[in-house]
Amino acid sequence: MVDWKGGQARGFFDWISRPMETGEIGFTPSGIARGDELHVLVGTQGEVIKIDKEGIPLGPVVSPFPSPVVDSTIVGNRWCGIWMDRELRQARMAAIPLNEVWEDGPTREQLRNSTHTINDDFLKPAMSIWHRTLDSEPMKVGVSGENIVFATVTGLYMIDSDANEVWRGMLPRWPEISKVFAFDQIVGILEIPEGISIWSKAGGISVLDPSNGLEIYSRTIQFGDKVSGVSYSEEGGWFVMLHEGSIAVMDKIEGDFRLYKTSAPVLDAQFIDCSWRWTGWRHDGNLADQVVDIFERRSVGVSVVNRKVLTNDGSWSEWGVNRQT
């Protein structure tokens, strides 16, 4: 069950992009939410910044809410983020318009003080069109058409872009991995032609009917390792990132997989120019025609944007260029 609390809409603003000045984004990145026209980079402490497809900033670095972002996605002209503060045991969810100048939100001190008040509705992520307080720990968020699908430890939910509930349901169950269910978690929610795919860390896969959330397909895969992330491309199929430093590739969700060793864990991947291109722990990689090429780098690659890599020190570098020296 989710506790819904409304927010206020804002007006529109015409964007003026500015060139990258130093190649630094000014914070430690943790991931990226990709959109058709622009992307949103997310930091480990809740920082966010909009960039274009070339990695050029489209506004300032801001912190809409003073907590780490668990996960985020882009739906239409809105960025939807979920914040989780383990110290204060609070989780928030909000949608922020992409076509406005973003601003900083409340401070950490204000958030702490709000825990002593009865009504903290005033304390919301900056610029939010709507915001919600979640009553259970969030895990993952994804998109289905113009709707948002997210998972908490107690269930799955679909809401529309204005946060109206479409359906709710239980988390998928996989009898083959039931022994590890208490330690399992959802690591992927991806839209595919067949429906909404749900992936778990232990290798459980379900496909849901987007109209009602009912399961239409289920299987488990023994990859020999925990699943840390999943990417999908209609042309390239499935790219499964495994915890200890290998990847699995599948043409179809019901098909067999091919396992490839990498030099270290992979953190992000995109299907570009007929090949899977990725970055990760001190390396970049490429898979084409079942051949893996590894390019070592000194830093940790967090996200792939076009043909560049955003590293954990907040800087950009060319993908596939040896950075050992």
Please give the Cα distance from 257 to 263 (Å, whole number). 19
> 166 in a domain, yes or no?
no
Which tokens hold the place of 247?
């990847």
- The answer for residues whose C-beta is within 8 angstroms of residue 153's C-beta and 6 or more apart is 136, 137, 139, 171, 185
Please give the Cα distance from 243 to 260 (Å, whole number). 13
Which tokens hold the place of 266?
């992979």
Closest C-alpha to 140, from 127, 156, 125: 156
Closest C-alpha to 277, from 323, 226, 236, 234: 236
Give the type of residue at 161.
S
> 86 in a domain, yes or no?
yes
Q: Domain count of the chain? A: 2
**Residue 178, φ and ψ in degrees, nearest 5:** -65, -30
The per-residue pLDDT for 117 is 62
DSSP string, 76-145: TTEEEEEEEETTTTEEEEEEEETTS-------HHHHHHHTTSS--TT---TT-SEEEEESS-EEEEEEET
Domain match, 225 and 325 both = yes
Please give the Cα distance from 155 to 6 (Å, whole number). 21
> Domain boundary residue among 76, 108, 135?
135
> 194 in a domain, yes or no?
no
Please give the Cα distance from 47 to 295 (Å, whole number). 29
> 145 in a domain, yes or no?
no
> 51 in a domain, yes or no?
yes
What CATH number does the domain containing 67 carry? 2.40.128
> 77 in a domain, yes or no?
yes
Q: How many CB atoms lie within 10 A of CB 82?
A: 25
> Domain boundary residue among 85, 115, 135?
135
Domain match, 122 and 229 both = no
Domain match, 240 and 126 both = no
Tens of pLDDT along the chain (325 residues) come to 344 333 333 332 232 233 333 358 999 999 999 999 999 999 999 999 999 999 999 999 999 999 999 999 999 999 999 999 988 888 999 999 999 999 999 998 888 887 666 555 568 999 999 999 999 999 999 999 999 999 999 999 999 999 999 999 999 999 888 776 557 899 999 999 999 999 999 999 999 999 999 999 999 999 999 999 999 999 999 999 999 999 999 999 999 999 999 989 999 999 999 999 999 999 999 999 999 999 999 999 999 998 899 999 999 999 997 544 3
Domain match, 5 and 128 both = yes
Structural domain that includes position 259: 221-325
Angle at 235 between CA 233 and CA 241, to 5 degrees: 40
Q: What totals of helices (H) and strands (E) does the chain contain, helices first?
A: 1, 27
- Name the CA radius of gyration of the chain, rounded: 20
The per-residue pLDDT for 122 is 61
> 279 in a domain, yes or no?
yes
Domain match, 106 and 232 both = no
> 82 in a domain, yes or no?
yes
> Domain boundary residue among 135, 165, 189?
135
